[in-house]
Amino acid sequence: MTVPTSLQILQVDAFTAEPFAGNPAAVCVLAAPVDEDWMRAIAAEMNLSETAFLHPVEDGYHLRWFTPTTEVDLCGHATLASAHVLWSEGHLDPGATARFHTRSGLLTARLEEDWITLNFPRQPMEPISPDPVLLKALRGQEPLFVGGSTTAIEGNYLVELASEAHVRSLQPDFSLMATLPVMGVIVTSAAEDPAVDFVSRYFAPAAGINEDPVTGSAHCSLAPYWQEKLGKDTFLARQVSTRGGLLKVTCQADRVLISGQAITVLRGDLIAQL
């Protein structure tokens, strides 16, 4: 593998139609595979929750995601951002399905008007006994439910709190949370807004991200959880981080459809090399 002599990097705000909201991701469309250490260095330099690297293969694109400190197995917002770049920059016809080969298998995306729909694997949760460290990290918040991943490649905990106010006001102990044996912690509750079904926040200090602004992959677990609780398959969800984001989510048999919008906010050229 080689290191590119030149590279365009785009920054896309995902799960929002407005600039400077949602979850920012850097996207690098490459001509061919590149050196992994180089990708890690670029991701650390971008210092966003995720930087996506993709290059064409026979029937789509090979896609990898890196936080500033580690490679991850599944990322929603950077996949949404990657699909947005393929269409907006002319790499892919707007009527074509984007196909991504990843560490989580084949993922697809479709463009429908100004919404992008991702097809992701369903990752249900089962009730578990709360980890005492998790309870301490929640700083006194009493969970209504604590679950653990049953199918996720990189596990999470899912915690339901009593209300949206509890979710919004939560100030976790990130140093304790980073010691948990999972990638991150999803915190959720029913929404106060009657137009929205549920809200969430996502914390992943072990991956170098204290709080992720909008986490598409977390909805692979949130959707089946709220499907069982609410008795419905389709949801409007809001991630209530400081930046915030809106998602349309649909449960299928073994998949979750996650829809959001995206907007490009920066375009630049890499001029320094390792």
Find out whether 86 and 95 touch, Cβ atoms under 8 Å. Answer: no
The DSSP line for 106-166 is EEEEEEETTEEEEEEE---EEE-PPPHHHHHHTTT---SEEEEESS-SS-EEEEE-S-HHH
The catalytic residue among 50, 160, 164, 211 is: 50
What amino acid occupies position 244? G
DSSP H helices in 186-263: 219-230
Q: Is 228 helix (H, G, I), strand (E, B) or coil?
A: helix
Q: Is 179 helix (H, G, I), strand (E, B) or coil?
A: coil
How many angstroms separate the CA atoms of 212 and 74, rounded?
14
- The answer to whether the Cα torsion of 27, 21, 80, 172 is positive or negative is positive
Q: Is 80 helix (H, G, I), strand (E, B) or coil?
A: helix
- Whether 113 is a known active-site residue: answer no
What are the counts of helices (DSSP H) followed by strands (DSSP E) for the chain? 6, 18
Q: Is 132 helix (H, G, I), strand (E, B) or coil?
A: helix
How far out from the chain centre does Cα 44 lie?
A: 18
How many angstroms separate the CA atoms of 119 and 33, rounded?
24
Looking at the DSSP assignment, which residues form a beta bridge with residue 110?
117
Q: Is 207 helix (H, G, I), strand (E, B) or coil?
A: helix
Residues tagged active-site: 50
